[in-house]
Amino acid sequence: MKLSKYSFGIGDRFAHQGVALLEAFQIALEDRTMITPVWNKSYREHNTVHSLPESVRKEADDAVRILDWQHDYFVDADHINLGNVEKYISSSDFFTLIEVFASDRVGLLYEITRTIFDLELDIRIAKISTKADQVADVFYVRDLDGQKIEDERQLKEIRDALLPVLAV
């Protein structure tokens, strides 16, 4: 994923204005300014209007199809946490999310992050949570080219490398 020189976060609370929002980007393009639209709706907004992350993906995809947008666009999520991260994984373009649940021990966080580093992944965000003797962490990672990891072989490699670290 490569963002153009300019990107702009957009979204509407009820997922009905995707076409109108994208039209603004078309106007900028007519003026020879390429801006990459990034649809985004926070977890809090989803809770407020009782929507799902997939509605943002659908809004973006529908607007792009209707307006025949031939340029990049992305979908992102924010204000997510360990209790709600799972439903955002497939609809986000920016990160591969690695969820870790394990018994805590001295050095575990180092071992996890060292393993991720050894896999040549870039940790962009880490949400670390420990309750009693249990950890529940989420790592937002990209490859070294800034891309979300979607290749099944690479995802398996990540799982295979982390499982022994977590099993100790």
Parts of the chain with a pLDDT under 50: 82
82 lies in a domain? no
- Contact at 8 Å (CB) between 94 and 1? yes
81 lies in a domain? no
Q: What is the pLDDT of residue 43?
A: 65
Q: What is the pLDDT of residue 6?
A: 74
How many domains does the chain fold into? 2
End-to-end Cα distance, the chain: 35
Looking at the fold, whether 58 and 119 belong to one and the same domain comes out as no
Q: What is the pLDDT of residue 111?
A: 93
Average pLDDT, the chain: 81
Q: What is the pLDDT of residue 140?
A: 84
1 lies in a domain? no
Q: What is the pLDDT of residue 86?
A: 58
Q: Provide the whole-model pTM.
A: 0.56
Tell me the three state secondary structure of residue 81.
coil
Q: What is the pLDDT of residue 5?
A: 67
C-alpha 162/C-alpha 111 separation (Å) is: 9
Supply the range of the domain harboring residue 23. 6-76
Q: What is the pLDDT of residue 67?
A: 96
What is the secondary structure of 86-152 as a DSSP string?
GGGTTT-SS-EEEEEEEE--TTHHHHHHHHHHHTTEEEEEEE--EETTEEEEEEEEEETTSPPP--H
Looking at the fold, whether 103 and 71 belong to one and the same domain comes out as no
C-alpha 104/C-alpha 91 separation (Å) is: 30
Candidates 38, 162, 148, 151; CA nearest to 97 is 148
Looking at the fold, whether 105 and 162 belong to one and the same domain comes out as yes
What is the CA 105 to chain-centroid distance, rounded?
28
**Side by side, which strands form the sheet with 6-10?**
6-10, 35-40, 74-76
